[in-house]
Amino acid sequence: MARIVMKFGGTSVANLERIHNVARHVKREVDAGHEVAVVVSAMSGKTNELVGWVQDTPKVAGASSPFYDAREYDAVVASGEQVTSGLLAIALQSMGINARSWQGWQIPIRTDNAHGAARILDIDGSEIVRRMGEGQVAVVAGFQGLGPDNRIATLGRGGSDTSAVAIAAAVKADRCDIYTDVDGVYTTDPRIVPKARRMKKISFEEMLEMASLGAKVLQVRSVELAMVHKVRTFVRSSFEDPDAPGMGDLINPPGTLICDEEEIVEQEVVTGIAYAKDEAQISLRRVADRPGVSAAIFGPLAEAHINVDMIVQNISEDGSKTDMTFTVPSGDVEKAMQVLDQNKGTIGFDVVQNETGMCKVSVVGIGMRSHAGVAATAFKALAEKGINIRAITTSEIKISILIDGAYSELAVRTLHSAYGLDKS
């Protein structure tokens, strides 16, 4: 007997047939004698529809600003998960399974007051645990909690993953299964590299880098949370037949296990290749090389909610001037240029240049901490294909390389081969 949290995203509950399919997945685990809590997202498309209404309401009211109260946004948008939690409870009951739905405020899942992107402060899992002990499946509306002043709060996009991991931590689950429309985490995007392999295991740290670098399987926040609470998290497919052989395997179900690195006996040097397209490169030329200049540049950008990613600073020849290069999402480049222009006086630079259509390719692997020459392999492989490197940043377990976007697929394929990831 184990205690399992199962999470199903929007495409997995897109309609009544899909919800029935989810119920079959749940039934399999219940029939095996496990205690089960299920976390569900809204039907795919629903959240967008609700968000659209919220955004359009001030316009229709003729308001001069598109402002809306994030607390009301949350009340409206959280209704999507409320619907699926109730429907799944009914589907389970129809299959003879004792189940009840739980809204965030009913548990409660307490959050801070950052409505629209709230953080979970505390989950009282006691009542759910008690009822699981009596054989009742808890069907939890994901993405939502109870904020201050008795208000509904939502956790922001991908929040249902976070709900699932947080609940798994709260009820001390043996496993948190994230059911999604892919069957696991791959060494890279299989649409680009057909030889990409599904990993059996990946460490939290590696998954964090993969997730934040564009492998959109799991939200970064949920991986962070899983890492902190050491929640063993499986990424697996909701589209496989719930009763196919091995689906109910307690130790090795089909999918990718995200776990503590200690659980991964044989560390790969490089685990996977991630990429993020549509990056823009901004370069400030001949910036005064003085203390506080970075703050002068990146402070105003942060205030404008521009997500700066790679930052590279070149040492100047004489030590008095420097070049500063960084990347932002292409969509933010115009706003970033405005902000820099407005702050030209306080920053002090000669010219600012930008180029869009860049791609950031990243090599991720926990094993590179103890292996030299990992970066050199990437540089050599890219050079052999004539791919120009525009910027490089590194961390303990990651090398990120900025290249021209036209070469992104070629670069991903090249690196995937160079690190031997093509072989099964």
**In whole angstroms, what is the distance from residue 48 CA to residue 45 CA?**
5
Determine if 129 is a binding residue for a second copy (CB under 8 A): no
Q: Which of 31, 48, 69, 342 binds a second copy (CB under 8 A)?
A: 69
Q: Which of 4, 6, 14, 91 binds a second copy (CB under 8 A)?
A: 91
Considering the complex, state which of residue 72 and residue 422 has its C-beta at the smaller distance from a second copy: 72
C-beta of 100 vs 197, nearer to a second copy: 100
At 52, which helix (H) or strand (E)? helix 46-60
CB of 348 to a second copy, least distance (A): 42
State in angstroms the smallest separation of the CB of 132 from a second copy.
16
Tokens of 142: 């994901």
44 contacts a second copy (rule: CB under 8 A) = no
- The answer to whether 310 touches 391, Cβ cutoff 8 Å, is yes
- By beta-carbon proximity to a second copy, the closer residue of 149 and 318 is 149
Kindly state the tokens that stand for 222. Answer: 């949920």
Residue 300 burial (C-beta neighbours within 10 Å; 0-12, 13-18, 19+): middle
Q: Is 103 in the site for a second copy (CB under 8 A)?
A: yes
Q: List binders of a second copy among 144-163 (CB under 8 A).
A: 150-152
Q: How far apart are the first and last CA of the chain?
A: 33
Count residues binding a second copy (CB under 8 A): 46
Identify the helix (H) or strand (E) that includes residue 24: helix 16-31
> What angle is formed at CA 356 by the lines to CA 66 and CA 336, rounded to 5 degrees?
45
Q: Do residues 413 and 185 lie in contact, with contact meaning Cβ atoms separated by under 8 Å? A: no
For the bound state, the minimum distance from the C-beta of residue 38 to a second copy, rounded and expressed in Å, comes to 13
DSSP three-state, residue 199: coil
Residue 88 token pair: 């799944």
Helix extents (H) in 149-290: 159-170, 204-212, 220-229
How near is the Cβ of 318 to a second copy at its closest, in Å? Answer: 56
Place of tokens 């036209």: 406
> Residue 365 has which token pair?
């692997």
Whichever of 8 and 105 has its CB closer to a second copy, that residue is 105
Q: Which is nearer to a second copy, 148 or 214 (CB)?
A: 148
95 binds a second copy (CB under 8 A): yes
Q: What burial letters (b/e) apply to 162-189, b meaning 16+ CB within 10 Å?
A: bbbbbbbbbbebbbbbbbbebbbbbbbb
* Segment near a second copy (CB under 8 A); pick from 94-102, 203-211, 261-269, 372-380: 94-102
Tokens of 383: 């050079």
Give the interface segment with a second copy, choosing from 68-76, 209-217, 258-266, 361-369 (CB under 8 A). 68-76
In the complex with a second copy, the residue whose CB is nearer, 31 or 384, is 31
Q: Is 113 in the site for a second copy (CB under 8 A)?
A: no
Each residue 1-30 as x (binds a second copy by CB under 8 A) or -, in order, gives: ---------------xx-xx--x-------
Which residues, in sequence order, are bridge partners of residue 154?
Answer: 144
Q: Is 178 in the site for a second copy (CB under 8 A)?
A: no
Q: Which is nearer to a second copy, 100 or 285 (CB)?
A: 100
Strand 137-141 to 99-102 pairing = parallel
Piece of the chain touching a second copy by CB under 8 A; list 65-73, 334-342, 371-379, 395-403: 65-73
Output 151 or 390, the one with its CB closest to a second copy.
151
**Closer residue to a second copy in complex, CB, 129/192:** 129
Which of 170, 120, 171, 178 has the alpha carbon at shortest distance from 145?
120
The 276-305 site mask, x for binding a second copy (CB under 8 A), equals: ------------------------------
Q: How far is the CB of 236 from a second copy (least distance, A)?
A: 22
Of 250, 253, 205, 219, residue with least CA distance to 365: 205
What is d(CA 207, CA 364) in angstroms, rounded to the nearest whole number?
A: 9
Residues that bind a second copy (CB under 8 A): 16-17, 19-20, 23, 50, 53-54, 56-58, 60-63, 67-69, 71-76, 78-80, 82-83, 85-87, 89-91, 93-95, 100-101, 103, 105-106, 150-152
